[in-house]
Structures are given as C-alpha cells and as structure tokens.
C-alpha cells in the first residue's frame, strides 16, 4: 500500500512540475514524500537524531500548510487528505 501512495505522490509531483510548484497541494505532497522517505530511513537507523530533528521540522511545516488549507478551502483539504492517506490531526 505504501508503494501505491509513493507512486501517487510522484505522479502528482510530475503532473504539477510544469504547472505550479508553489501551490499548497504541491508543497504538502512533496513534504509527505520526504516524510515517508525519512521514516523508512529511521526504521533502519534508530539513533540518527539529526534526521529525527529534520523529520519533526518537516512535519511541522506540513501541519501548518494543512491548517492553512483547511481554513482556506475545506473541499480541497478533504480531497488532498483522502488522496495522500493522511489522518486528520488531533485537536488540542
């Protein structure tokens, strides 16, 4: 299943390379791709603390973009969450 998600993300990235790299959806897709690569790296290298820090920073950036998109356009937010297979964030 993870293979399908990664191929889907790469497909979205390839489609939007010519169109709009600065769009919120494109940025969230690229961050999701980086997050998946880093988590697979950290499964092998559990004590790589610099990669853990980088992962936390990317997660924070993606979270801020998702909050922005959810406030701006709920329909696009829901569609992107379903396409990428991201869970809804927990409310504080």
What is the 3-class SS of 30-70, one letter each residue? HHHHHHHHHHHHHHHCCCCHHHHHHHHHHHHHHHHHHHHHH
State residue 78's pLDDT score: 95
Predicted confidence band of residue 1 (pLDDT cuts 50, 70, 90): very low
Residue scoring higher pLDDT (14 or 89): 89
Average pLDDT for residues 59-73, to the nearest whole number? 96
Q: Which domains does the chain have, with CATH numbers?
A: 20-84 (1.10.287.10)
Lowest mean pLDDT among 2-6, 44-48, 56-60: 2-6
For 2-26, what is each residue's pLDDT tens digit?
Answer: 557 666 666 666 665 556 888 999 9
Residue with tokens 């169109």: 19
Sign of the C-alpha dihedral computed for residues 81, 13, 35 and 39 taken in this order: positive
Mean per-residue pLDDT of the chain: 87
Average pLDDT for residues 46-58, to the nearest whole number? 97
């Amino acid at each position: 299943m993870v293979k399908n998600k990664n191929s889907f993300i790469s497909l979205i990235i390839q489609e939007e390379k010519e169109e709009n790299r600065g769009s919120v959806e494109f940025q969230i897709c690229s961050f999701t791709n980086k997050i998946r690569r880093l988590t697979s790296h950290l499964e092998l290298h559990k004590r790589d603390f610099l990669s853990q820090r980088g992962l936390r920073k990317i997660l924070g950036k993606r979270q801020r973009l998702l909050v922005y998109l959810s406030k701006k356009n709920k329909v696009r937010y829901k569609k992107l969450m379903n396409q990428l297979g991201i869970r809804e964030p927990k409310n504080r």
